[in-house]
Structure 1
Amino acid sequence: MQRMPVDGWRAGDETAREAAAWAIRLFCGREPADEEEIRHLSQYETLDGLRRAFTENWEFRQFVDGMSGGRRRWGVPPFLMRPPRTDIPSKHEQPTLDEPVSQLCTGSQFKEPVYAEITEALAMHANPHRKTWEMAYITSVLATHGMIGVGRRAIGFGCGRERLPSLLASRGVEVVATDQPANDTADLARWRSSNQHASGLGDLFHNQIVHLDDFERLVEFGAVDMNDIPASLDGQFDCCWSMSALQYIGPLERSLAFVEASLRTIKPGGIAVHTTDFNLSSNGDTLDNGRQCILRRRDVEALCVHLTAQGHQVMPLNLHPGHDATDEVVDLPPHGLPHLKLFVDRYVTTSIGIAIRKGG
């Protein structure tokens, strides 16, 4: 058997490339996925750096935890350690809610004062739960870019019974809150049974957040198909949002098309912000069964490239997965706290937020 090279290490050279390939075989129990994976992993300055990276790897942790019978801990997979594409704005540092960009849900954000402030305004507990993070993230993006205040107009897609319309109305924002049109499909019946579908304005009112008079004056409800946004809504709003909705409107292509179509509803310079599920296990296979999809890194990057080419500004993509203790936890049924990551199908997922300023 050929010996794995360790002598004469120099980042990026043939010795480093062979060591990277061996590390994948040893720690992950598979052959390298492609040349790009080898190239990226060979860039570590020392062999110890490469070894440390792999001890934090998800595939290796699955193996170790399986041997010990312990609860599964998440580790950073190789595809998420790669540098981002050079043709999109990006950064790689602990993401914050205080200065939000396009980012993942991570443990440290729950400890920020701004998270406590927003959850208090939403009349919610400041729990480490990814759905609460999504509301806080959307709120922070809109506030950061001056979209929350008297005279602003906002439209929300797939709102269900979420609290954001009440919060925005409490700050003087005019809101059109929408949900999928009522029909008899099995998917909508399931959505209704989970108490997540809105059929009228009353489903969106939260009296702990806003006075009823202000809510009725400022908020309207409408049925809007996210796959067929009416042209009558074009250019009518300062901002738009969706929270955990786009992954349920059809195949992956439709979900990505919705993000672009949503920009039609806002004025030039306006802000669109969307949250959805993100695949932390694979940049290849993913869930895409026609009813639900999980975005991969490659899908998010392709969307950023496309929107940038259309003249829009995507807030820098930050895929730093965090290094708080809660970032390692994969929540299993019956779900509890912390709930940052969970299994969907066979994939570990978390939430990602994507923020865009409309061009023109």
Structure 2
Amino acid sequence: MGRLPWWFSPAGRRQRREAARRREAQDLLDLLAGDAEFAPRLHALVVEAIGHRLASPNDAEGRPHLDPLSLALRELPNTVLNVKTLAADLARRQAERLPAVPPPAAPRRIRLTSRVCRQADMEQPWMAHWREALGARLSYHRKAWEYGFILQALWEAGMLAPGKRGVGFAVGQEPLPSFLAARGVEVLATDLDSADGRAAAWAATRQNAARLDDLHHARLVDRETFLARCSFRPVDMNHVPADLAGGFDFVWSSCSFEHLGSIEQGLAFVEATMACLKPGGIAVHTTEYRFSEDGPKLDNWPCVAFSWQDMKMLAGRLAVRGHRMLPIEEAAGRLPLDGYIDTPPYAPMSGKGLALPAPPHLRVSVEGIPATSLGIIVQAGPAGPSVASP
């Protein structure tokens, strides 16, 4: 008996099976595109048909997959790591080129207005002052920029002084309540109730506060002073309590209102917080900002991204109620790190036997959309609270 054709060999049978699976997957995708009613079930079938290729580059016997999808995806993780490593080295070199001068001992007025995060800000003396005051080192990370922006805005408005009252929303475990308490400010810190199912993901990454102790940073303020000046209260940002109206000199939030479920809910939150302010008070918020007006819109999602037009609309809505958003400084930055977009996973990967320093994180990919932090400053009108909680 002659040898069977290769098509009937074990390798040939495997190839036929893989070809059949690809045909099945394509058929399911065609159905998925044409019948939304069964989309969830069909999507699960598609994942079952091709998902094994995404789970591992090799089969159960250790041999690499050779189908087009596997070949296309095989080196993608290594490419991402290469880019992150080079970006981290670039950030290190950018920091090393800065003059070796101590941060200014006192804040400097720069007439801060609403603006987007950028590399140049991280290297300015005014930002270095707040970084030193918080006990942090230079890091090209947008969260560090957000803290500096908020504190600079509050200081320029005369809010970092004994007797002032501030309320922070979705504070997580950030250092600002402790920092403010050390300067004589009375602080009400709020966050989503830890019993709320939505808080579980934030708690897992230490970004949710369940009690006042979660907010105490001993390096910034002693415990006695902190407890005397800070209080904590669970608050859902989609329902700002009416009893907070008119009781505060300032409000703040740090990259929080993009997580409220939609663009409209985020804008409504900013409006609602204005009711918390005394006449002439100030609101300082940072949030997710997408650069492109013409690109894809990210809305009705756990993390949305606001555009220039969204902010223009918000400014108009606030103006109708007698408030004023300071204009957004349009310069987005042209230095090297302003052109790097960090992609998930954002944290350095461990356990691979590789030296992987943290890359810069001033620009990020949010569901594939280039974005950064936007800081807005809103001055309350002289007539006092005028916006009710939705």
Regarding TM over 0.5, the answer is yes
How many pairs are equivalent?
A: 271
Structure 2 CA distance for aligned equivalents of residues 343 and 308 of structure 1: 32
Stretches of structure 1 lacking an aligned partner (at least 5 in a row): 1-68, 73-95
In structure 2, the CA distance between the partners of 1:281 and 1:71, relative to structure 1 (3 Å rule), is: farther
Q: For 2:177, which of 161, 165, 171 is the aligned residue?
A: 165
* 1:7 aligned partner: none
* 1:200 aligned partner: 211
Structure 2 residue matching 1:226: 3-state secondary structure: coil
Structure 2 residue matching 1:256: 3-state secondary structure: helix
* 2:366 aligned partner: 344
* 1:130 aligned partner: 142
Q: For 1:112, which of 113, 124, 130 is the aligned residue?
A: 124
> What's the offset of the Cα at 1:117?
1.0
Structure with greater helix percent? 2
Cα RMSD (Å) = 2.3
> What's the offset of the Cα at 1:97?
8.3
> What's the offset of the Cα at 1:326?
1.3
Question: How do 1:200-349 residues align onto structure 2 when only pairs under 5 Å count?
Answer: 200-283=211-294, 285-335=296-346, 336-349=358-371
Question: How do 1:24-39 residues align onto structure 2 when only pairs under 5 Å count?
Answer: none
Structure 2 residue matching 1:175: 3-state secondary structure: strand
Structure 2 CA distance for aligned equivalents of residues 283 and 353 of structure 1: 22
Structure 2 CA distance for aligned equivalents of residues 358 and 296 of structure 1: 23
Structure 2 CA distance for aligned equivalents of residues 283 and 239 of structure 1: 35
Structure 1 residue matching 2:341: 3-state secondary structure: coil
Contact 1:115 1:126 in 2 (8 A): no
* 1:143 aligned partner: 155
Q: After TM superposition, what 4+ stretches of structure 1 lie above 6 angstroms from structure 2?
A: none
Structure 2 CA distance for aligned equivalents of residues 251 and 237 of structure 1: 27
Structure 2 CA distance for aligned equivalents of residues 124 and 244 of structure 1: 19
Contact 1:342 1:349 in 2 (8 A): yes
Contact 1:234 1:264 in 2 (8 A): yes
Contact 1:138 1:241 in 2 (8 A): yes
Structure 1 residue matching 2:228: 3-state secondary structure: helix
In structure 2, the CA distance between the partners of 1:97 and 1:249, relative to structure 1 (3 Å rule), is: farther
Offset from partner CA, 1:187-218 (integer Å, 9 cap, x none):
32111111100000011000111111110100
Structure 1 CA distance for aligned equivalents of residues 366 and 215 of structure 2: 27
> What's the offset of the Cα at 1:291?
2.1
Larger radius of gyration: 2
Contact 1:240 1:262 in 2 (8 A): yes
Structure 2 CA distance for aligned equivalents of residues 294 and 153 of structure 1: 30
Contact 1:130 1:340 in 2 (8 A): yes
Contact 1:97 1:109 in 2 (8 A): no
Q: For 2:378, which of 339, 356, 359 is the aligned residue?
A: 356
Offset from partner CA, 1:151-204 (integer Å, 9 cap, x none):
10000000000010011011100000000123342x321111111000000110
In structure 2, the CA distance between the partners of 1:154 and 1:283, relative to structure 1 (3 Å rule), is: farther
In structure 2, the CA distance between the partners of 1:292 and 1:97, relative to structure 1 (3 Å rule), is: farther
Structure 2 CA distance for aligned equivalents of residues 332 and 347 of structure 1: 10
* More divergent stretch after superposition (308-317 vs 157-166): 308-317
Contact 2:344 2:365 in 1 (8 A): no
* 2:202 aligned partner: 191
Scaled by the length of structure 2, what TM-score is found?
Answer: 0.66
Scaled by the length of structure 1, what TM-score is found?
Answer: 0.71
Structure 1 CA distance for aligned equivalents of residues 343 and 260 of structure 2: 25
